[in-house]
Structure 1
Amino acid sequence: MEKEETGNEKRPLKLSIIIFIAIFIILVVGLLFYFNIGGISSHTLKYLSNIPILKGLIQVKPTTNYADELKKLTSELNTKQKELQNAEASLSDKQKQIDALKSQLQKQQDEINSLKVQSNAKKTDLKTLATYYENMDPQNAANILNQITDNNILIGILGNMNKDNASKILEQLDSKKAADITKILYTNASTMP
């Protein structure tokens, strides 16, 4: 009887181990399906859905066509690269335009500086000439200045003189020339701010 009892005691132990192993296997298989490890659920569900009894219970997710998706993403990437290249080309063109404008601006600035130097030299020359004529007898200075046909030169010389000396020379100039110079001086004075 003792042997029968030990045999009976071993049966529930064996049965418990078998149940434990079965639960473990079901658990592992369930986890494999749940987490789709190795793509097992998508492959297995495809075959299980063909069984008439399980067809309504199992929903097979449509498989993603990775090749089409890759083509689409590649196309989008190529489009973005072309847009980037166009933007870079446009930026390069704009930079060239900016460089050309900077160069043009520098040339104009150099021209302005050159004109300023020339203008300053002319002003210095006019002041020197005015000093010469101021030191002359007003009648002799007027005789020489009457020979100058460009009234702007006369105005430049007289404008750089002392007012008293300029008026003495202007008094000795030809009356028509003095009148023309007066008109020009009046016009210049009325247009100045």
Structure 2
Amino acid sequence: MQKEDTGSERRPLRLIVIIFVAILIILVVGLLFYFNIGGISNHTLKYFSNIPILKGLIQVKPTTNYADELKKLTSELNTKQKELQNAEISLSDKQKQIDELQLQLQKQQNELNSLKVQVNSKKTDLKTLATYYENMDPQNAANILNQITDNNILIGILGNMNKDNASKILEQLDPKKAADITKILYTNASTVP
């Protein structure tokens, strides 16, 4: 009796294996059609579309020419690569221009800093010189300043003095020189914003 039991136990197991294999085959065939592996669905659908009952249900997709599409995509890719190369060249040129402008700006800043140092040095020297003349007798200072022909130097010296001392020295200067200095001071004062 035990032999009959093992035979009856094998039948449901065989049935399960057969059903599993059938489902697996259906699944594999379905995947082949779904992903159109090897163009199987296009070829098969052409044959099924000739059957009158299935003709209205099946739509055959036109086959695409992959070679033409590949050429088109390759052409587009080449165009984009050329555009990218041109953009890179343009960007490189712009970067060179920026670098040159930055270099020029740095040179000009260095020159400006050098000029500022020179101006500050001259201002310091002018203040020192003005202090010397302030400490002198106004008549003696005026006699010396009358000998200076550059009125801008005189204006620089007098401008760095105390107003009382500057007016005392200006009073002692040659009247024509004092008038010239006054005109220059007035012109400078009226042009300063």
TM-score, normalised to structure 1, is: 0.72
Look up the SS of the partner of 1:161 in the other structure: coil
Asked if the contact 1:32/1:41 (under 8 Å) is kept, the reply is no
Asked if the contact 1:138/1:165 (under 8 Å) is kept, the reply is yes
Name the residue aligned to 2:40. Answer: 40
Look up the SS of the partner of 1:128 in the other structure: helix
Query: Residues 162 and 68 of structure 1: is their aligned pair in 2 closer, same or farther, counting only changes over 3 Å?
Result: same
Look up the SS of the partner of 2:81 in the other structure: helix
Name the residue aligned to 2:120. Answer: 120
Query: Residues 135 and 31 of structure 1: is their aligned pair in 2 closer, same or farther, counting only changes over 3 Å?
Result: closer
Post-superposition Cα deviations, 1:15-64, rounded to whole Å, max 9, x if no partner, equal xxxxxxxxx8xx96x85995444323434566788x8x97xx58754321
Bigger Cα displacement from structure 2, 111-120 vs 161-170: 161-170
Alpha-carbon RMSD across the aligned residues, in angstroms, is 2.7
Look up the SS of the partner of 1:98 in the other structure: helix
Matches within 5 A, 1:1-193: 34-35=33-34, 36-43=36-43, 57=55, 61-193=61-193
Query: Residues 167 and 68 of structure 1: is their aligned pair in 2 closer, same or farther, counting only changes over 3 Å?
Result: same
Query: Residues 32 and 159 of structure 1: is their aligned pair in 2 closer, same or farther, counting only changes over 3 Å?
Result: closer
Separation of aligned partners in 2, 1:184 and 1:32:
100
Asked if the contact 1:126/1:160 (under 8 Å) is kept, the reply is yes
TM-score, normalised to structure 2, is: 0.72
* One-letter identity of the residue aligned with 1:135: N
Bigger Cα displacement from structure 2, 91-100 vs 177-186: 91-100
Separation of aligned partners in 2, 1:106 and 1:82:
36
Which ranges in structure 1 are unaligned for 5 or more consecutive residues?
Answer: 1-23
Asked if the contact 2:155/2:185 (under 8 Å) is kept, the reply is yes
Look up the SS of the partner of 2:157 in the other structure: helix
Separation of aligned partners in 2, 1:33 and 1:121:
91
Query: Residues 31 and 124 of structure 1: is their aligned pair in 2 closer, same or farther, counting only changes over 3 Å?
Result: closer
Query: Residues 42 and 150 of structure 1: is their aligned pair in 2 closer, same or farther, counting only changes over 3 Å?
Result: same
Look up the SS of the partner of 2:63 in the other structure: coil
Query: Residues 31 and 158 of structure 1: is their aligned pair in 2 closer, same or farther, counting only changes over 3 Å?
Result: closer
For this pair of structures, how many residues does the alignment match?
164
Look up the SS of the partner of 2:156 in the other structure: helix
Separation of aligned partners in 2, 1:131 and 1:89:
62
Separation of aligned partners in 2, 1:107 and 1:176:
44
Asked if the contact 2:33/2:40 (under 8 Å) is kept, the reply is no
Which ranges in structure 2 are unaligned for 5 or more consecutive residues?
Answer: 1-21
Look up the SS of the partner of 1:63 in the other structure: coil
Post-superposition Cα deviations, 1:64-112, rounded to whole Å, max 9, x if no partner, equal 1111111100111111111111111111111111111111111111111
- Identical positions, percent: 86
